[in-house]
A and B are shown apart, each in its own frame.
Chain A
Amino acid sequence: MDKLDSKLLQEIADLHEIPQGAYNIRKNGELVARNNVAGIEIVTKQDKPGIDIYIKDNTKNQSLHIPVIVTQQGLNDLVYNDFYIGKDCDVVIVAGCGVHNDGNTANGHDGIHTFFIGENSRVKYIEKHLGTGSEKAEKILNPTTVLHLNKGAIMKMETIQLGGVSASKRKTIAEVLDDAVLEINESILTEFAQTATTEFEVNLNGANSRVNVVSRSVAKGTSKQSFVSAVNGNNKCFGHVECDAIVMDKAQVMSTPALQNTDADANLTHEAAIGKIAGEQLIKLQTLGLTQEQAENVIIKAFLKK
C-alpha cells in the first residue's frame, strides 16, 4: 500500500493504520488484508466477487472495517458483500470506498451490500465515499444496500459522500419487521458538473416498526442531485423522511417523496426544503469576523456534519 492508499483509507474509514477488530481491505478488485476475530468471520465468495460476513449471536462491542480503494484506471470494481448478523449482537461496521483517478477512462466501484440482521441486534453502519484526483477524470460509485431487519433489530446507517465523485446512484431497499428501527442519515456534497441520485424504498412490514430518514445535501456548481424516498406503511408503524438541500451557484436538486400506506395505523410524514444559505446566517457569522466565503464553509460543514 502506498501513500495514496493510506490517504484514501484515512478519509473513508478514519484508518491511520491497520484497524482493531475484524477487517477486509480491498484494492483494485484484490484482497489486500483480512482479519477475523471471535464472533466475526469473513469468507470469500466462490460464485461471484465479494465476501460473506458471518457474525455470531451475542457478538458485542466488535467492529468490522471493510474499505475498498480503486486507483486503477478503467476498472469498475463490482462486489457483492452479504452480512449475516445473528441475534442480540451490537456491532459497528465501517465500509466506504475511495476512488482515485487522474486519467481519461472512468473508474469506480459498485458495492452491493445485503444485510440480514437478527432479532434484537444493534448495528451501526457507516459508509463513506470519496473521489480524488483530477476533477475531469470520471469516478463513479453506485452503491446498493439491501436491509432485512428482523424483530426488534436496530440499524443506524450513515452514508457520507464527501465530494469528488463524478456520478453516483445510491439505492437502498429495506424491510423492517416488528419493533425494528431503521435510522438513515445521508450527507452528500456535489460540485462542478457532478450528479448524485439517491433512492430509498423502505417497507415497514412489522407492527411498531419505525424508520427515520434524514438526508442533508449541498449542491454546488452545475451539479445535480435527485432524492426519491418511498416509504410503505404496511402495518401499525411510523415513518419520517426529511430532505434538506442547500443549493449554490447553478446547482439543481429534486426531492420526490412517495408515502403510501396499506394499513390505517401507519403514520408517515415527509418534509423537504431546498434553498440557498439564508442571508441572515451569513451575516451572523460575518459579525463574528468571518468573510462570506468562510461563513459559507462553516455553515456547509456543520450542515453536513463533516
Chain B
Amino acid sequence: MLTLKNIKFSADEDGQKNILADINFDFKAGKNYIITGANGCGKSTLAKIIMGIYPLQSGQILFNGKDITKMNVTQRANAGIGFAFQQPVRFKGLTARDLLEQANGGKISTGMACEYLSKVGLCAREYLDRELDNTLSGGELKRIEIASVLARNCPLNIFDEPEAGIDIWSFNSLVDIFKNSINANSTNIIISHQEKLFASADEIILIADGKIAMSGTPKEILPKLNNFSKCNKLRGN
C-alpha cells in the first residue's frame, strides 16, 4: 500500500552528506512495521519524507497505487496518512478537544473524544478542556498526540518514537494500542528504539548508513539485531 522507490535525502545542497542513500521498500496493507536504527541514522527523516514534511530530493512514493511524490502535507494527510510527532508541539489556547476535533474532520462528539483519550490512558474528563500549552507535561502531551492520530482513523499511521516520554508503567497500554486500538486494516509504521515494541511488529526494518540493512519478521530479525547492535552500536543512546 506504500511503496518507497530510490529515496535519497542529503543534509546539504550538493548531496555530499547523505542521510538516506537509497531506500526501497514495499509496505503491505494491515501490517505493523517497526523502523529502527541508531540515533541519527535517518529514521525520523524517512518518516517525515513519507508525510511530506521534508521535501523529497530524489525518488518516488506510491500510496495505494497513486504517486504522491509531489503532494504536500495537507494532501497526503487527506489521502489517508496520519503522523504522530516525536516531540508534540504546544499551542496556547487550543484544547485537547479542539485538536481531536480537527483530527476527526472538524467535529467530534464528547463521547468519541473521551474514548480516544481513554485509549491513550488519560482520564478524559480531566483532559478534554485542557489547553495544549506548557501546563501539560511532555508525557501527557505525547499521549494526546497519539490520540490525535487515532482520531483520524487513517489507512496509514506513522508514529515517530511513540514511547519517548511515556512512563514505563503505561508502556503496556501503548503496546496494546498498536495491537488492538487501531483499525486492523490499517498499516502502521512505528519508528522506535524500544525492544518491547518490537514483538508487536509484523516486520522490523533496520536502517544503517542511510540504507535498509535488513528487514524481516521479529523472529528472523531479533537474533541478528543483537549481533548487529554489538558491532554497530545500534543503541547509540
Which residues on the B side are within 8 Å of A302 (C-beta)? 91-95, 98
Contacts of A283 in B (CB 8 A): 53, 73, 89
Whole-angstrom distance between the Cβ of A229 and the nearest chain B Cβ: 18
Q: How far is the CA of A217 from the CA of B17 in the complex (A)?
A: 43
Q: Answer yes or no: A10 CB below 8 A from chain B CBs.
A: no
State the interface size on chain B (CB cutoff 8 A): 24
Are A290 and B102 within 8 A (Cβ)?
A: yes
Give chain B nearest CB distance to A284 CB in angstroms. 5
Question: Separation in Å of the A222 CB from the closest CB of chain B?
Answer: 24
Residues of B within 8 A of A287 (CB): 51, 53, 73, 77, 82-83, 85
B interface, by DSSP: helix, strand, loop or mixed? mixed
Question: Quick one: CB contact mask for A98-134 with B, threshold 8 Å, 1 for yes?
Answer: 0000000000000000000000000000000000000
CA distance A36 to B78 in the complex (A): 55
A298 touches B51 (CB 8 A): no
Which B66-90 residues sit within 8 Å CB-CB of chain A? 72-74, 77-78, 82-83, 85, 88-89
Asked if A288 lies at the interface with its beta carbon under 8 angstroms from chain B, I say yes
How near does chain A come to B106, taking the closest CB pair, in angstroms? 9
A93 in the interface (beta carbon within 8 A): no
Once the chains bind, are B91 and A286 in contact (CB under 8 Å)? no
> Does B148 interact with chain A (Cβ within 8 Å)?
yes
Asked if B8 is an interface residue, CB under 8 A from chain A, the answer is no
A281 to B, closest residue via Cβ: B89
A contacts with B: majority SS: helix
Contact of A284 among B88, B92, B93, B152 (CB under 8 A): B88
Whole-angstrom CA separation of A196 from B123 in the bound complex: 42
Q: How large is the interface on A (under 10, 10 to 19, 20 to 34, 35 or more residues)?
A: 20 to 34
A280 lies within 8 A of chain B by Cβ: yes
The answer to whether B103 has its CB under 8 Å from any CB of chain A is yes
* A216 close to B92 (CB less than 8 A): yes
Report A53 CB to chain B, min CB distance, Å.
32
Q: Which of A216, A288, A305 contacts B102 (CB 8 A)?
A: A288
- Min C-beta distance of B154 to chain A, whole Å: 10
Tell whether A78 is near chain B: CB-to-CB under 8 Å. no
| Nearest CB in chain B to that of A278: its residue | B89
Cβ contact within 8 Å between A299 and B51: no
A292 to B77, CA, bound (A): 13
Tell me, rounded to whole Å, the shortest Cβ–Cβ distance linking A293 to chain B. Answer: 10
A287 CA to B53 CA, complexed, in Å: 9
Residues of the B chain whose Cβ atoms lie less than 8 Å from the Cβ of A278: 89
Q: How far is the CA of A291 from the CA of B94 in the complex (A)?
A: 17
- A304 at interface (Cβ–Cβ under 8 A)? yes
Instruction: Report yes or no: A286 in contact with B77, Cβ–Cβ below 8 A.
Output: yes
Question: Is the Cβ of B74 less than 8 Å from the Cβ of A291?
Answer: yes
Known: A278-B89, A281-B89, A283-B73. A288 touches B94 (CB 8 A): no
A288–B105 Cα distance when bound, in Å, is 8
A residues 163-195 with Cβ under 8 Å of B?
Answer: none
Q: Is the beta-carbon distance between A216 and B93 smaller than 8 angstroms? A: yes
Interface contact A298-B94, CB-CB below 8 Å: yes
Partner among B83, B88, B92, B102 whose Cβ is within 8 Å of the Cβ of A298: B102
Which of B's residues lie within 8 Å of A, judged by CB? 51, 53, 72-74, 77-78, 82-83, 85, 88-89, 91-95, 98-99, 102-103, 105, 148, 152
Could you jot down 13 A-B contacts, CB within 8 Å?
Answer: A244-B92, A278-B89, A280-B89, A284-B85, A284-B89, A286-B72, A286-B73, A288-B152, A289-B105, A302-B92, A302-B93, A303-B91, A303-B93
* Seed contacts A285-B102, A288-B152; 8 additional CB < 8 Å A-B pairs: A280-B89, A284-B85, A284-B88, A286-B72, A287-B85, A291-B74, A302-B95, A303-B92
Closest 8 CB pairs of A and B: A302-B93, A302-B94, A286-B73, A289-B77, A303-B93, A287-B83, A280-B89, A289-B78
